[in-house]
Structure 1
Amino acid sequence: MVRGKTQMRRIENATSRQVTFSKRRNGLLKKAFELSVLCDAEVALIIFSPNSKLYEFASSSMSGTIKRYREHVKENQTPNSACPEDVQHLRQLAEGMAKQIELLEVAKRKILGQCLGSTTIEELLPIEEQLERSVCVIRARKMQVYNKQVQQLQSKERMLTTENAVLNEKYQLQTTEESEEGIENVIVMENKDASDVETGLFIGLPKRNIKNN
């Protein structure tokens, strides 16, 4: 469905005007962000709503961009410069940027698989090649992540194996010490029992009590 051309005049209905403002504002902020990312441009956008509410976007720093703009205007401004010519130049720049943004928006929709009804074979082939390259990059990154996770798990396995060996060695050493200590206790008890038995050496016949008749 082809959208009709919007007339450039003030919308009289307050509700429609507010809805249009919200949609166009979000679209303008989105396009400013895309322009800054895709073209590595320094972008600063300031919007005041009819209710004097501020909306802004800056790709780096709003204050820094404004300062840079003022310095640029101050350097290029001459006493005899004509304001209408500057305005015309700015309009041409704005129109060129708007066309570039529109082309980028159309290319993005095509990459996402949208608005392909009127696309020709010549236009579809580059899009297909771009998608295939993107898939290859994504798969390569996925394999890097998998390999990294496998290496981390293997390292953790080696660490746990080492800890387990150390614990087994400690357990065997403790068991050996307890066994030796138990044997020593048994020997001590046997020696103690043997020392408690009264032994003596007698020469001759044992003494008997003789009753005197």
Structure 2
Amino acid sequence: MPAQAARNARPLSEHIYERISDEIVNGVIAPGAPLVQEQLASEYGVSRTPVRDALNRLVHDGLATLEPGAGYFATTLTRSEVEEIYEVRKALEIMAIRQFGAQYSHIELARLELLIAEGAASADPEELFTATRAFHLGLAAPAKNGFLLKTLQSVWDNPVQRLITRSYPLDKAKLDRVADDHRRILAAARAGDPDTLIPLLDLCHEKD
């Protein structure tokens, strides 16, 4: 089945989910804005059922909240929620690095260096997020525990991660800071010293 046909064959609720998700992440739908089933169904030209299914998935993924008696609302991220996500992501990355003792190949190090350059040249938050995601997954990639790596990837692929990136202004100062933090991590990776690398990773997670 061609790729386009396969996409069209997906449940309608999945298409609606992706559209609302993108609008929340990109700021088209403001934090805290009500997500009214009837209005969304009318706007997208569908019935309420796929919209309701999509909204429930958004709640599950952390992009929306359901308040009994009031309805659905776009997520407003709190500092504690961001810290919870960072805590889980950081723990998984550290666990992976500990497994192989931060012993990277020349090819792995070269890829990390390339990703730093891509992040520094980012023109928008989505490009920066893509490069940052790839950099951190690349730090963990040599670990042999496949389940650990899949779990880490699923954390990064949660749309809330993109929402966090979008919540911070993108300017040259941020690009320079992220690139500098990643270069310090890369230097520790080149030295093959997990005890130096991991504290830097801990600090980096407070900023990415």
Would you call these one fold, judging by a TM-score over 0.5?
no
Q: Which has the higher contact order (CA 8 A, sep 6+)?
A: 2
Larger Rg: 1
For normalisation by structure 1, the TM-score amounts to: 0.24
For normalisation by structure 2, the TM-score amounts to: 0.24
